[in-house]
Structure 1
Amino acid sequence: MPQGFRPGADPLTKRSSRVVAVRKLARRKVRDERRQFLAEGPQAVAEALRRSGTVVELFASAPAAERYDELIDLAVADGVSVHEVTDDGLAALTETVTPQGLVAVCRYLDVDVPSSPRLVAVLDGISDPGNAGTILRAADATGADATVFPDATVDPYNGKCVRSSVGSLFHLPVVRGGDTATIVERLRADGLRVLAADAHGDTDLDDLIDAGSLVSPTAWLFGSEAHGLPEHVAALADARVKVPIYGHAESLNLATAATVCLYASARQHRRGAPQ
């Protein structure tokens, strides 16, 4: 029996009361009531466990516990309750076609907007959790200080968003809730320039890069893949910025365009304005 499992305890099944209770976290209302969410797979679980006190419970199949014994040991050392589950119990807790054997119940991570940030991604009206999670991952990779999920945007604790972030949800501050206009005013008061990513914008990203205009602290506004930013939100920005298309592609998808914009800012923050 892998370390961490209670001796003599039968594996939990999909009908076990603990599994039935935890699977309800797939619903946002329940997540908000309990301020807990699910993270599945070894990568997400590993990143969650690196933040001591984040993981409340860990469910593992016997083969996964053998394979990822270091994670089980880390969970036990952090005082996490570890449960063995059967295949059907694991399937009840996961959303993927081929579960990877580990599911963690985690505490909510959201915080207020950090003070004096230099790079922030604000996601307005984005309903696709895959896109939102990928932007969160890009924000983490570029060293952003926070990613903001206002009220009109998909929940960062949605299962697909958590998976798409590939652990980045546990790395950088996530701000959840609030009105976009209020958030923008807060960021502007902190000295950030506000730029809206807009495929039809009148400012070219290359021109900003060439002029060294991205060296200052910046908040990027990103809208939905299908509709972009609402007019009243785009109007909050200091400029509407388009990513240039050099080839014949009609456009870039949202997550790709957001990654390009965030890296452009991060590069100038790292190097400073051109001489």
Structure 2
Amino acid sequence: MVSAGGTARWREPVPLAPHVGPPWLRPLLDNVDKVRGAYRRRVPAEVLAMITDANAQAVAEGTGRDAAVLVLFSGPPDMPADGALPPDADLLVTVRASTLRHHAGQAAFPGGASDAEDGGPVATALREAWEETGIDTSRIHPLATLERMFIPPSGFHVVPVLAYSPDPGPVEVVDEAETAIVARVPVRAFVNPENRLTVYRASSTRRFAGPAFLLNQMLVWGFTGQVISAMLDVAGWSKPWDADRVLELDEAMALVPTDGEGV
């Protein structure tokens, strides 16, 4: 494992240990290769074509940047007696500062651009998570990497790193100029049909809409919302929800609770 704090050795490749994942994560781990397909099914054909073209251009021009995000699940190591998802399982999510150049104010997995000295995408995801949330990376077990995905607005080729910790310890905002909120969100909050909706940008038509989650203190949408939605589908955790609940992005953001209630 990579050690935490100032002794972190991010230059070394970090091995994956899928066997460490708890039984309740097996439905996702055993089908991790299907997440990209589930993600792409949520993206309208016009948008998918645009992403494909932008990706090809970035590769041809050499302008794309490598990046990684940490998709960290926490929860008990054992399967509940009823075989269901543990009620205390959670997912680490941040909200980016409103002053950032890209994706300002957007909920995201901790992560960012790769450094030349990083020993691969797993090291990048762990380093960025430590820098953003102060998490003790020695408590984290990287399980698998998802296929690299391209995000046109920022030009990043992103590798989501799926990881697990039975107890990740305290997390917090480390740099307010970069991160506004750090939260361990219950997975049941994403599964709850009442928290699900579809959002679209004011400059787009509804055919560009994507899955979103209206949670306490945040609206999870865009790339992060699509990845979470795909993981729920692949793991078999999704429940039927109102697909006709479609809102423009600003309308949806106006519904984000500000009083600490809402999930």
* TM, length-normalised to structure 1: 0.29
Which of the pair is proportionally richer in helix? Answer: 1
Write 1 or 2 for the structure with the bigger share of strand: 2
Structure with the bigger RCO (C-alpha within 8 Å, sep 6+) is 2
Structure with bigger gyration radius: 1
